[in-house]
Amino acid sequence: MPKTTAKNPHDRRMQATAEKLRAALARLTGRSAEYPAAPTRRLTVAALAREARVGRNAIYANHRDILDDLARALQRQRVPSRIATIADKVAEQRVVIDDMQRQIRQLATENAGLMRRAIEAERWAERAERRSAQLTREIDAHRRPAILRSTQP
């Protein structure tokens, strides 16, 4: 923004305040060589006023363009934090997915073992039924009345 020469003291004061505010905004957003960007600094009108050492009312009353610049800086600051939040959620979901896939593999292995045991138990039951049927036939054969032959001529 090119500097314009102020005609009266009021205009010079307004111009000096605007320069202070722009420099303070540059410091708060890390666009100043003196202060690198600090992620913990909050961009608020109060923070801007403290940094520039001017009253908040002066910003609201006379420097609306600075408020627009502050809003744009806030928007730029929010976008990376949203991306980081989304990336964190994706990472958490990947961990959950990996855990669930591990559980699926474990359950599939356990299911295969149970199926093998069930098939084996069915075979034993089938053998036991055949053996039971065989024993029942043998018992029935032993219980049949035997014909006694008489020894008379």
Residue 30 is given by DSSP the state T
Name the 3-class secondary structure at 3: coil
Tokens of 78: 């929010």
For 80-125, the pLDDT digits (tens) are 767 778 888 999 999 999 999 999 999 999 999 999 999 999 999 9
CA dihedral 64, 18, 48, 39 (to 10 degrees): 100
In this prediction, residue 1 has a pLDDT band, given cuts at 50, 70 and 90, of very low
For 14-71, the pLDDT digits (tens) are 898 889 989 988 888 876 555 555 544 678 888 888 988 988 888 888 888 888 888 8
Give me the percent of the chain exceeding a pLDDT of 90. 34
10 Å CB burial of residue 79 (0-12, 13-18, 19+) is: exposed
State if pTM tops 0.95: no
Closest alpha carbon to 67 in 111, 35, 21? 21
